[in-house]
């Protein structure tokens, strides 16, 4: 049988990191075993589902590169199919109509709570004949005895007793099918072999298995993945920082870094931290996923991101960096080749946002100097140095990192200064800050005209400062 997993988000928000990790595990399982990854949009909650959310989820999945082989299937387009199955269950007396009024269910619940029992439907309508023309719900006739064994690939064997489960509503009064029914029909119709999902669904599993068995279907294998906690030990939520996958993109995280980070949330392979996609596919095993919850650690994500920024192909980084420069109103076509800029900056940024910020000066004149850097390096003593540099640079006919390096070295020698005494004021003049790639590369990429313009600006600044003091 072909291995098939599915990612089945409810489109009621963005794609969050928890969902992305579940999707990644499902995707890896399929890529490893050679099968199909299905995307299913569980949009039956008409009030909370939105088209924007569907788009946000698709966008997140696409950005991460978790391409799906089938779908997206939309549950709202499958109501006829669900109703057909519900009718089949009714016809075989495996489901029944129930018209218990809300008041009755509420008082039943209160009594059970008072007796410290788990609230559950008491089967009142099991044997009643109800006119289907009148308002009703449909309930699944859950077995009264015995139990359901779930051999979960992550949790191990979990046993549920049927007496703990009640006759669950599978179609509401308004005619809409409920979650447990739609999931069962879809998992069965779509021939899902492995259901990998968050362990908040573990309690639904025995119900789903009972319905599948009533329909004469073999249940898939289940793997319930533990939840993700924030650094304070509580369930990961917005107050711990970004949750949305696309928010990470905005913050300048690379998709490969986020994937690498997510795969390590609850899974490990010795003490290896860095996994290429191919390695993940080769090494990941759903059965090795930890039972315990894992903790989200933003510093580690940044550490991985920095690793990928340093080691990825510069052309790829350039491609991903472009939109972040766009956010700063910079058109990368308006200056030096972006790949050269990336090569110069690869060691210096933890995120693409940082890289864009420290690279902006290659493309446009900055508005203001970094205050500390200017105070330290653009002082009257730097005036002679910068005037000399300006003179030399203006005369240069060959503008290469090598010729520029030589020029700076010669100037330092002729002025009997250490190299830094020339390079630092020059750097602040050109980059606006005390840190940049090597001065030769920096000058080269900024270009002759812009360099001269910025040295003039620095000289003005020094002159102005002198009059202020």
Q: Which residues bind ligand GLU (CB under 6 A)?
A: 8-10, 42, 183, 197, 201
Contact in structure between 245 and 14 (CB atoms under 8 Å): yes
Which of the residues 238, 310, 372, 418 is marked catalytic? 238
Looking only at the bridges linking them, the beta strands covering 95-98 and 137-140 are antiparallel
Residue among 131, 135, 140, 133 at smallest CA distance from 96: 140
Comparison of 165 and 412: residue with beta carbon closer to ligand GLU: 165
Least distance to ligand GLU, CB of residue 40, Å? 8
Enter the DSSP assignment of 123: -
Known catalytic residue: 238?
Answer: yes
Kindly state the DSSP code that residue 195 receives in the 8-state scheme. E
- Give the three-state DSSP class for 417: coil
Q: CB 169 → ligand GLU: shortest distance, Å? A: 17
Residues 445, 399 contacting (CB under 8 angstroms): no
Based on CB atoms, which residue is closest to ligand GLU, 46 or 463? Answer: 46
In this complex, which beta carbon is closest to ligand GLU, that of residue 208 or of residue 305? Answer: 208
Asked whether 230 and 240 are in contact (CB, 8 A), the reply is yes
Query: Which helix (H) or strand (E) covers residue 5, if one does?
Result: strand 3-7
Rounded to whole angstroms, the Cα distance separating 327 from 323 reads 6
- Check if the beta carbon of residue 83 is closer than 8 Å to that of residue 208: no
DSSP 297: -
Give the helix ranges, DSSP H, for 92-236.
102-114, 179-189, 205-214
- In the complex with ligand GLU, the residue whose CB is nearer, 121 or 179, is 179
Residue 344: CB minimum distance to ligand GLU, A: 44
Least Å distance, CB 152 to ligand GLU, is: 13
Q: Which is nearer to ligand GLU, 10 or 346 (CB)?
A: 10
The distance of closest approach from Cβ of residue 89 to ligand GLU in the complex, given in angstroms and rounded to an integer, is 19
Residues with a known catalytic role: 238
């Amino acid at each position: 049988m072909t291995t098939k997993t599915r990612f089945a988000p409810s489109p009621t928000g963005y794609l969050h990191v928890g969902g992305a990790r579940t999707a990644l595990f499902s995707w890896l399982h399929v890529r490893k075993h050679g099968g199909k990854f299905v995307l299913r949009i569980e949009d039956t909650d008409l009030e909370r589902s939105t088209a924007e959310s569907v788009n946000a989820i698709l966008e997140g999945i696409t950005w991460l590169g978790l391409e799906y082989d089938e779908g997206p299937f939309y549950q709202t387009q499958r109501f006829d199919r669900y109703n057909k199955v519900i009718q089949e269950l009714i016809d075989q007396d495996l489901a029944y109509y129930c018209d218990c009024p809300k008041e009755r269910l509420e008082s039943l619940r209160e009594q059970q709570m008072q007796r410290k029992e788990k609230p559950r439907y008491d089967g009142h309508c099991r044997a009643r004949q109800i006119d289907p023309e009148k308002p009703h719900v449909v309930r699944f006739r859950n077995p009264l005895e015995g139990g359901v064994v779930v051999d979960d690939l992550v949790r191990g064997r979990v046993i549920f007793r049927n007496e703990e489960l009640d006759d669950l509503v599978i179609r509401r009064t308004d005619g809409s099918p409920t979650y447990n029914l739609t999931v069962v029909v879809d998992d069965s119709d779509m021939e899902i072999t492995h259901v990998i999902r968050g362990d908040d669904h573990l309690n639904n599993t025995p119900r789903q298995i009972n319905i599948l068995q009533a329909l004469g279907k073999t249940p898939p294998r289940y793997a319930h993945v533990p939840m993700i906690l924030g650094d304070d030990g509580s369930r990961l939520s917005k107050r711990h920082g970004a949750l949305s996958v696309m928010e990470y993109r905005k913050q300048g995280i690379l998709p490969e870094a986020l994937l690498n980070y997510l795969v390590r949330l609850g899974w490990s392979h010795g003490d290896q931290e860095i996994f290429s996609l191919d390695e993940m596919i080769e090494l990941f095993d759903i059965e090795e996923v930890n039972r315990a919850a894992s903790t989200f650690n933003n510093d580690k994500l940044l550490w991985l991101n920095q690793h990928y920024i340093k080691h990825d192909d510069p052309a790829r980084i350039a491609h991903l960096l472009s939109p972040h420069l766009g956010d700063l109103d910079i058109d990368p076509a308006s200056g030096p080749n972006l790949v050269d800029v990336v090569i110069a900056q690869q060691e210096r940024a933890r995120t693409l946002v940082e890289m864009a910020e420290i690279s902006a000066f290659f493309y446009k004149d900055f508005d203001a100097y970094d205050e500390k850097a200017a105070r330290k390096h653009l002082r009257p003593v730097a005036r002679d140095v910068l005037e000399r540099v300006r003179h030399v640079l203006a005369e240069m006919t060959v503008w290469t990192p090598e010729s520029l390096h030589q020029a700076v070295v010669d100037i330092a020698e002729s002025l009997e200064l250490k190299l830094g005494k020339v390079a630092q004021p020059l750097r602040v003049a050109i980059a606006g800050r005390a840190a940049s790639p090597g001065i030769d590369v920096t000058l080269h990429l900024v270009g002759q005209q812009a360099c001269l313009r910025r040295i003039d600006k620095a000289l003005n600044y020094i002159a102005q400062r002198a009059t202020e003091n």
